[in-house]
Chain A
Amino acid sequence: MENISFNELKKIAKKWEMKENTSKIALLGDCATQYLCVAIRGMCVKKRINADIWEADYDQIYAQIFNSESEMYAINPDYVILFFSSEKLLEQYETTDNTKRNCFVSEAMGNIEQCWKRLSQVQGLKIIQFQFVEIDDKVYGNYGNKIKNSFLYCLKTIQYQILEKACQYNNVYLMDLNSIQSDIGRNLFFDEKIYYLTKSTISFTALPLVADRTTDILRALQGNVVKCVICDLDNTLWGGTVAEDGMSGIQIGELGTGRAFTDLQRWLKLLKERGILLAVCSKNDQNTVLKVFRENSDMILKENDFAVFVANYEDKAANIKYIQSVLNIGYDSMVFLDDSCFERNLVRTLIPDIMVPELPEDPALYLKYLKDLNLFESASSSEEDVERTEQYRRESKRKELQRQFASYQEYLKNLNMEVTNSSFDPFHFPRIAQLTQRSNQFNLRTIRYTEAEIKKISQNRDYITQYYELRDKFGDHGLTGIVILKKIDRDALFIDTFLMSCRVLKRGMEEYIMNHIIQIAKKNNCIKVIGEYIPTVKNGIVKNFYNDMGLRIHNKNQWIINVNEYKNKTTEIKEKAQ
């Protein structure tokens, strides 16, 4: 994010407009929140997040949460931001009797957890809790770290216990306010005079940063996550150019300037291990650069850390378009790293949706700059994250095989695809929830579910659930299709959720699943199946899906079919033999 002032953000906030399907945010704080509210509204407009924010009156957290008739419940928010301030906590500590301070932590945690519990009663509500910033009354100096009842010790304990407790609540997300204070320092984060005049515990310098990080969480919760980093090589992943300096002359390794590039590679490797895809896009001879990966022992990243590897002399925009076609993810979920200003501008101009950080001149500053951008905010994680790169590498191999076949049908047949499917089980809840949050393209209704909601649905007898795992002769695609059906009107099934990972489109999976839905309907004595399409910016590819499957128009954006009228669609995919 470029540095933007509160004043500029305030102006942008004035341009806010109500749109369709606007998310609603309720902001509750025990300190002044009116400036934060303006900053968040401005950031939402700036980052094109479709959200409206309502601010409770000063210090009304409990009043709004524990009164069922409160204004907050009346507006039916999708998100509640809870801002318990450290300054208020200190006030509470100071007014707690000296002899009762040993209960201070458990009381404070108890109050917070009561709020989470009460808010969790609202279906689908997500809580964004600001972490406490570290402040100190300094009455013991450093020794406060060894005194359990000191404010410092209590605050640090509360900070830690919040981490532990939040793990137990799938609907609570933590905004690390303390890390923002660490980045810029207390002197810039807090303005004493502003605090005494307005009770705002965040300075005007820090407000834009806080709004930025908070809206990063909103974006992740709405499914806008970065999925791939495309890297240039010369002067980006190593110092120097391999063409001129030779394989051993490039700067990489433990010592000297090479260390900056080594650290960057180590970080990229961490990203890959957590499920971000890496790709290479380099203007070099392919064999020359592959040699570096294979033979330079100082390299941290190896060839198989990359899902796609492109090295040639064509223009980078064209190469990035090729990478996109292999991975089949949106350009707006990709990041492009290149030290060359020329290449950055070229790609930005030709592919406006892709994110191109303006890397600083000095490679020593690459890593800090990239970390400060907070590009990899997330709202979920699952076991499949670890495997993701390997999945995409196999996909590259499939694409190569395809070129060998005269017809696409023959190629599909040759893949020997098999599906295993089952109703939702606890082991798969995380991956299922994650898919509902990330899938944007082949997603008929784009309903986002948390793990807790998936669990509820799986236990509800009005719902029939199925997940689908696809395998072919190259390997396992993992869990790639999800269907949630709701029984309505005693003899009908409504397709609440029908989504597929974009990795497996156009292989016959769509037809297989549709056939299966009709089978399920018949098994459950349902005569009708109804599907709905809710249009979004990203799911245009399924606009006519139900029409193509032979259903007829029912109401606005809905299609219906009688199970006896449905004709099974051909597909090369078979159910796995038991």
Chain B
Amino acid sequence: MYDMSEKDILMKLNLIFRDVFEDETIVVNEETVSDDIEAWDSLEHINLIIEIENAFAFKFSMEEVSTLKNVGEIVDVILKKSKQN
């Protein structure tokens, strides 16, 4: 996986969020939390995780999935995992 900047990652995540929640108006940033998006329930949370894993070709750990607080932390995990590759 080539080096993506935080900005690139956020843009790509935004596309994923728009696809999963079927809402073209969504704009996510580092502070976005699940309360900000109405359809973001526990079922969609796992679905979202899987879609992000598939899009960026990596796997979250069990711990990461259960402790993620906002989109910013998702970006951090992706950055960390891409450096590991």
Residues of A within 8 A of B (CB): 5-7, 10-11, 34-35, 38, 192-194, 196-198, 204
Tell whether, in the assembled complex, residue B43 and residue A7 are in contact, meaning their CB atoms are under 8 Å apart: no
Given A6-B50, A193-B60, A204-B50, A38 contacting B43 (CB threshold 8 A):
yes
State the total of A-B contacts with C-beta under 8 angstroms.
Answer: 32
**Extra A-B contacts (15), CB below 8 Å, given A5-B54, A38-B43:** A5-B51, A6-B47, A7-B51, A10-B47, A11-B22, A193-B59, A193-B60, A193-B61, A194-B50, A196-B62, A197-B46, A197-B62, A197-B65, A197-B66, A204-B47
Which residue of chain A lies nearest to B47 when distances are taken between CB atoms in the complex? A7
Q: Nearest 9 A-B pairs (CB), nearest first? A: A193-B62, A204-B50, A196-B62, A7-B51, A7-B47, A197-B65, A198-B46, A34-B43, A7-B20
Q: Which residue of B lies closest to A198 (CB)?
A: B46
Closest beta carbon of chain B to A198's beta carbon, Å: 6
User: B19, B22, B47: which has the most chain A beta carbons within 10 Å?
Assistant: B47
**Considering the complex, which residues of chain B in the window 1-36 have a beta carbon less than 8 Å from any beta carbon of chain A?**
19-20, 22
Closest to B22 in A: A11
Kindly provide the distance from the CB of B71 to the nearest chain A CB, expressed in whole angstroms: 18
Chain B interface size, as a band, is 10 to 19
> Which secondary structure characterizes the binding site on chain B?
helix
21 examples of A-B residue contacts, CB within 8 angstroms = A6-B47, A7-B20, A7-B47, A7-B51, A11-B22, A34-B43, A35-B43, A35-B46, A38-B43, A192-B62, A193-B60, A193-B61, A193-B62, A193-B65, A194-B50, A197-B46, A197-B62, A197-B65, A204-B46, A204-B47, A204-B50
What is the chain A residue whose CB lies nearest that of B20?
Answer: A7
Bound-state Cα–Cα, A38 to B59, Å: 23
Give bound CA distance, A388 to B37, whole Å. 58
Q: For residue B38, give the distance in angstroms from its CB to the closest CB of chain A.
A: 14
Who on chain B is nearest to A193 by CB?
B62
Task: Point out the residues of chain A lying under 8 angstroms from B65, CB to CB.
Answer: 193, 197
Q: Within 8 Å CB of B47, what residues of A?
A: 6-7, 10, 204
Cα distance A38–B50 when bound, in Å? 15
Bound complex: CA A197 to CA B47 (Å): 12
Q: With the chains together, A192 CA to B59 CA distance in Å?
A: 11
Contacts of B61 on A, CB cut-off 8 Å? 193
- Measured CA separation A194–B47 after assembly (Å): 10
